[in-house]
Amino acid sequence: MVVYSSLKQDESARQARKTGNNNMSTDKKPSNWQQAIEGEWHGLPSLFESDGTHVGYNKVTRASEYEDGRTTYWMNTRFDATGPLNDRFEIGSPFRFGVIDSDMDRIYTGPDFFGSGRPYGLLVDSNYFSPGWNVNLRTMNHVVPDLGIQVYSSQLFEGDTVVGVFNGLYIVTHDHKTNPKTQQRVEAFLEKEKLDGKRPFNLPVKHAGKFTGRFEVYNDQQELVGHNDVVIHHNPINLLHSEQTIEISGVVNAKWKAMRTRNGNHHQYHGPDMYGNGMSYGRYLYSVRHVYGEAFKLWSRETVVDEDYNMVCAWQFMQSQKEKYTTFGVLRWEQGDLKLGANYVE
């Protein structure tokens, strides 16, 4: 992974502006992230109102293309939604905007989006502004080669207020325009997304078990510093409460227990080791958990990607209100004992 110092990055940016070259890499090669997302990506992200109500879909084909030292991002969208958000986001024009490409920052230079993205290996965490939509977006894209998908979400803000959420899965193609079999595969995927996109985020309600996986760990300089092995022991108490213990070993070594509750799409964590809350938008849950007695918290985006409860997770650890580690990976569900079987009165 290439890591630039801030001074070198600033100088590269200045030179790029002087020469008209919008690629920050001094050797004029695409960044690692740019290479990882080569091809056309196809998805049907769901659109949610701020309270989590599902109101429709957005059919998207998009690509980030590097040519002659310049990076251009294009996106064709077609909304199919109800209510005022459909009129807000269906602006009637395709997107095409410049990108200053590097593995330190990807800077979006308009006219459709202004801001930047911060890559960590196969994940990029972006924050940028859309004049046409009048929203500030926190967008997270995570390429998961093992599953053949990209896990996408955008939280949409006016200031600090959430006004909506986009989220959904994408698949990539390299011959969509010419290959009928590829076109059929994409259409089948989009039909499945239409069914799955509005499914609520639920963890196993009646069975105990555990989630296990290995996460890549990046420090605040975007350097891969190792891995975390993650185990979450899950034990239902009733249909809306469960006890979970998170065990992490590797770069981060910790063990936290908390009782989780769910009321609709509102989630809470009641200690004793972690306190916080979250909201789910379809199968995506966004949470903040504070570690008791420490200046340490966990921001998380967790996505249930199939009917077996397997989750693709992005976890960011904050220490003293500053980024400490960005970690991500897949947690696979291993079912244990049935805890909430049928009740009988003899």
Backbone angles phi, psi at 203, to 5 degrees: -95, 165
What residues does 69 pair with on adjacent strands?
none
Each residue's pLDDT, cut to its tens digit, for the chain (346 residues) gives 333 333 344 444 434 433 334 444 445 789 999 999 999 999 999 999 999 999 999 999 999 999 988 999 999 999 999 999 999 999 888 999 999 999 999 999 999 999 999 999 999 999 999 999 999 999 999 999 999 999 999 999 999 999 999 999 999 999 999 999 999 999 999 999 999 999 999 999 999 999 999 999 999 999 999 999 999 999 999 999 999 999 999 999 999 999 999 999 999 999 999 999 999 999 999 999 999 999 999 999 999 999 999 999 999 999 999 999 999 999 999 999 999 999 999 8
Taking the C-alpha atoms of residue 327 and residue 69, their distance in angstroms, rounded to an integer, is 31
Give me the residue label for tokens 């050797």. 27
Taking the C-alpha atoms of residue 282 and residue 265, their distance in angstroms, rounded to an integer, is 8
| Contact indicator for 24, 95 with CB cutoff of 8 Å | no
Query: What per-residue confidence (pLDDT) applies to 29?
Result: 87
Query: What per-residue confidence (pLDDT) applies to 10?
Result: 42
Q: Write the burial class of residue 280 (CB in 10 Å: 0-12 exposed, 13-18 middle, 19+ buried).
A: buried
Query: What per-residue confidence (pLDDT) applies to 68?
Result: 87
Query: What per-residue confidence (pLDDT) applies to 27?
Result: 56
- Residue spans of the domains in the chain: they are 6-196, 207-338
How much of the chain is helix, strand and coil, in % rounded to 5?
10, 55, 30
Q: Which fold has domain 6-196?
A: Lipocalin (2.40.128)
CATH tag, 207-338: 2.40.128.20
DSSP label of 223: -
- Ranges assigned E (strand) in 37-183: 40-43, 46-49, 54-67, 70-81, 95-100, 106-109, 114-120, 123-130, 135-144, 149-158, 161-173
| Contact indicator for 12, 4 with CB cutoff of 8 Å | yes
Taking the C-alpha atoms of residue 165 and residue 142, their distance in angstroms, rounded to an integer, is 17
* Residue 238, phi-psi category: left (phi > 0), alpha (psi -120 to 50), beta (remainder): beta
Query: What per-residue confidence (pLDDT) applies to 224?
Result: 98
**Which amino acid makes up residue 275?**
Y
| Contact indicator for 305, 149 with CB cutoff of 8 Å | yes
Taking the C-alpha atoms of residue 73 and residue 97, their distance in angstroms, rounded to an integer, is 5
Rounded to two decimals, the pTM is 0.90
